[in-house]
Amino acid sequence: MPHEIAPTLQFTHQQQPTALVAGAWLVHVLSHKSTMHEISTQLQQAGRQTDLHWDLTQISMLDHIGAQMLWRCWGKRKPAHISMQAAHEGLFARLEEVSQIPLPLPAKPRLTRTMQLGAQVLGLFNHLYSFTALLGQLMLDLARFVRHPMKAPWKELSANVYRTGAQALGITALVGILIGVVLSYLSAQQLRTFGGDLYIVNILGMSIIRELGPMLAAILVAGRSGSAITAQLGVMRVTEELDAMRVMGIPHGYRLIMPKVLALALAMPLLVIWTDVMALAGGMISAQALLGMSPEFFIYKLPEAVPLLNYWIGLAKGVTFGVLIALIACHYGLRIEPNTESLGRGTTNSVVVAITIVIIADAVFAIIFSKSGY
């Protein structure tokens, strides 16, 4: 193999301005950082001069990378004055041929804004149709569950109650205590100004038992258990386990959907009670520290300040939120396509939609029971 001389580019001005190209213009020689920087700078300088005579006869070796660097410097066309070896003419001839091929223009979007809006509306109706079909299948599975309780999937139900309920006790307790402390602290600051220290029991009791307890539990469960349900069903779709169950005659609704819905319907009211207790405990601790109110007095005043109907409204919210979260999570889990991108997108959409629906359902409860429990 002949000795590879470093590529050079020199400018001379003997008879006319000339760019003298010499050395080995090969990719592994040009790839050196210092060489590439020097050659690129010189080529940029040469590209600004239109009357240069290019002398390529001193090039010892040339590959398509070196030829392409020169070709770009020339503006993708041969200079008017150039001399080169006959062996190198084929490279530049091919580059010239390729440069003349017209590049395809990017396709213009075929959908107008009105058509895109229509597509989104159709997608919404598609979701509603699938969700309605899922709800109808759940009703049929519940009827089968009532008729044949001995053949029901009790193990799946128990496992889902444990995963969605018992394993969520820690995070709900932590958030509940912190919310109770914050709410009690902010309320105590204002009540102490007006001498209404006793009304902190009313504020904490009504806000936590009727609104904050169910909402906090639902949002935490939607982010924790709802995403897990969607991801589980999505992975089963990706690994074709759902198709295998269908081939074996195992119904998806009875073995997968119904246990998850029933589990959340059972676990959510219990989590609501647990969150209420933790939040009230945090508020009680804060009230004792700021207002000197004893826990015994707080517990004594709580039944008087909060009518029992608010407690049942909170439990009803828990059941409703649990069913909605489970149905939405299963709906998006079954719609996931067999690829990882769809899995991530479906899990995200499941959590966002579940939290949004929970807030809407809470607003509906507030309107329906606006004159009850006060």
Residue 353 pLDDT level (bands cut at 50, 70, 90): very high
Residue 55 pLDDT level (bands cut at 50, 70, 90): confident
DSSP for 44-76, written as a single string: HHHHT-SSPEEEEEEEEEE-HHHHHHHHHHTTS
Cβ-contact 325, 225 below 8 angstroms: yes
Q: What is the mean pLDDT of the chain?
A: 86
Please give the structure tokens belonging to residue 236: 């089963």
CA distance 94 to 361: 68
DSSP code, position 149: G
Cβ-contact 305, 206 below 8 angstroms: yes
Task: Express each pLDDT in 4-48 by its tens digit.
Answer: 678 888 878 766 788 888 888 888 887 777 778 788 888 888 777
The count of other CB atoms within 10 Å of the CB of residue 76 is: 13
Residue 2 confidence (pLDDT):
46
Which domains, and CATH codes, for the chain? 8-99 (3.30.750.24), 130-368 (no CATH)
- Listed in sequence order, the residues at least 6 apart from 268 whose beta carbon sits closer than 8 Å to its beta carbon are 165, 217, 218, 221, 318, 319, 321, 322, 325
Please give the structure tokens belonging to residue 261: 């819905």
- Percentage of residues in the chain with pLDDT exceeding 70? 96
3 state DSSP class of 85: coil
Spatial CA neighbour of 327 closest among 122, 153, 145, 128? 128
Task: Express each pLDDT in 261-320 by its tens digit.
Answer: 999 999 999 999 999 999 999 999 888 888 888 888 888 888 888 888 988 999 999 999
Residue 328 pLDDT level (bands cut at 50, 70, 90): very high
CA 80 to chain centre: 57
Q: Answer yes or no: is pLDDT of 331 > 90.
A: yes
CA distance 163 to 266: 12
Spatial CA neighbour of 236 closest among 336, 354, 332? 336
CA distance 187 to 212: 15
Residue 59 confidence (pLDDT):
86
Pick 229 or 23 by higher pLDDT: 229
Residue 58 pLDDT level (bands cut at 50, 70, 90): confident
Pick 6 or 216 by higher pLDDT: 216
CA distance 370 to 374: 9
Q: Measure Cα distances from 38 to 76, 139, 216, 237, 330 in Å.
A: 21, 75, 63, 55, 61
